[in-house]
Amino acid sequence: MGPRRVSRGGDVGPRAYGPPMDERQLSLDDLGTPLCDVTFVVVDLETTGGKPKDAGITEIGAVKVRGGEVLGEFQTLVNPGVAIPPFIAALTGITDRMLAGAPSVAAATASFWEFAHGAVLVAHNAPYDMGFLRGACEVTGIPWPSPRVADTARLARRALTRDEVRNCKLETLSAHFKSPTPPCHRALDDARATVAVLHGLFDRMGSLGVQTLEDLLAFGGRTTPQQRTKRHLIEGVPEAPGVYVFRDAQGRALYVGTSRNLRQRVRTYFTAAETRPRMSEMVSIAARVDPIVCATDLEARVRELRLIVEHQPPYNRRSRHPERMAWVALTREAHPRLVTVPRVRDAHVAAIGPFSGRGAATLAIEALQAALPLRTCTERLPRTPRRTAGCVRAQLGQCAAPCAEAGDAASYAETAASAYAAMTGDTRAVVTALLERMSALSEEGKFEQARAWRDRLESYLRGCLRDEQLAALGAAEEVVAAQCVDGAWQIHVVRYGRLAAAGIAARGEDPRPRVEALVLAADVVEPGEALVEETEILWRWLTDGATRLVRASRSLALPMHVGGAHLDVVREARAAAETLRYTDDRRSLRPSA
């Protein structure tokens, strides 16, 4: 039985599947995100007065607002784990006794990030507050969410004159804007006062042209000269879903991205909201932006992937090196063994993957060899043994030693057959063996070793599932599917794992004629042309639960024991283990098998 080869690479030339650009009705105004539609979380901290990296937070207060309306408030005292200096206690009124039963820094900041999820943060003298929040994340192990931040102090310095206010302290500004809650060095009251200042600044900045979130971030931030001088590149970019390509003066692609609103997304590269140094460098080189309007979001993601692989833009990091992918293959020889290869060939009887790199492939091999004692020697072995005794692994009972006269070639053949089954859809033998090993290690208290074997099992299961998905979709001559989005049907034609056509049937329109027209106009695709990542994107869309299958040339079912259910269990175990980092008393917890 030969190896299954699916979606190993191919032509990536772009093709427009949707309607021509001039058929779309495009806005002439670059609106951005209106301020009335943005959710802001205005936050203030009280601290011990130490360094931000020490995360000495004693109180967090925050107010969530949108469109001038208060949506909610957040307030908690925080136990920083250190004594509060007398001066700070006198200034804020917060004492060690008050904080004795307060939540820890880890618990309080985790609750705050949940409250502020998806919002734009606002603070007065924001670098101070953001420094302590970042320090808390570093101390507690919480990933820094990289929020967008507006600083009312900086905004006030640009929007107000010395004739209006003598300084830009919170007390001065809250009095100037007649805040109903004066600041008093308590977090929630100071946050409420900052809300009044923010709304007052909105009224003032409106006459200065600040109408959108992008305008606000640019007004209060620092844009580079290159960003300011290159803003004309936005001209001609439509408000439509699709792909954008930054190019230099010679027409070479610098960066490829995708967005549901091309104009809004491209515009952010020329505002202070864009703080990535490499993107600022890219903007300084760019000479034009080419928009490619797409019929659907799925088409945009596929076209972005193809363009990145084709042009290798220097400022893209994702999908630039498909050659780094690796497969785990079982060799076609008298006594098969496992190898890591960059591509599957006829010399391999079975393969799983691809994996993101050789490291992940090695983990999968270790999982297989732990359950199935395959040989690890790299030489090609004849059918007739040449050695008297086997290697060290044979002496330890980890290999049947088919290379030795004292070995058991028949037993090894059974092991190789089991390995073939484990790599062609039946993961039960490997899963059972590794779960037993993990359970035994956990009972012995060797939790780190158990987690290491869990990682090996996860890598193996991912490779098996990925291979079956690619094989199922890559072997289908044609699959037509549709998804209803806002009353319109987004229709896609997939051939051999590659997107061949995409279009939309508008709300109220009979989608069947549109389906037939797309099928007739779809690209001709040969087996093996599709990119691995493209086939994966299409598989996820087909199986996301909202897609309806119109027709398929073959079944897209996966083997019953390919390991998807086991992989879900492993993922849940990993997620549960990760939550231990966010608990205050994690040292008292004991992981189980």
Buried b vs exposed e over 11-30: b needs ≥16 C-beta within 10 Å? Answer: ebeeeebbeeeeeeeeeeeb
Tell me, yes or no, if 185 is annotated catalytic.
yes
Tokens of 12: 């990536």
Tokens of 413: 């053949």
Cα distance between residue 261 and residue 242, in whole Å: 7
- Residue pair 502/518 in contact (Cβ under 8 Å)? The answer is yes
Cα distance between residue 364 and residue 422, in whole Å: 11
Question: In the chain, what's the furthest Cα-to-Cα distance?
Answer: 98
**Is the Cα torsion angle 417, 418, 422, 428 positive or negative in sign?**
positive
User: Which of 117, 124, 176, 185 is flagged as catalytic?
Assistant: 185
3-state SS class at 121: strand
Burial class, 467, CB count within 10 angstroms (exposed 0-12 / middle 13-18 / buried 19+): buried
Position 12, amino acid: V
Cα distance between residue 588 and residue 593, in whole Å: 17
Q: State the CB neighbour count (10 A cutoff) for residue 548.
A: 11
User: What's the 3-state SS for 42-65?
Assistant: EEEEEECCCCHHHCCEEEEEEEEE
Tokens of 63: 């107010």
Q: Give the residue among 369, 375, 386 at the shortest CA–CA distance from 412.
A: 375
Task: Return the H-helix or E-strand segment holding 178.
Answer: none
Cα distance between residue 62 and residue 60, in whole Å: 7
Cα distance between residue 326 and residue 334, in whole Å: 24
End-to-end Cα distance, the chain: 38
Q: Which residues are catalytic?
A: 185
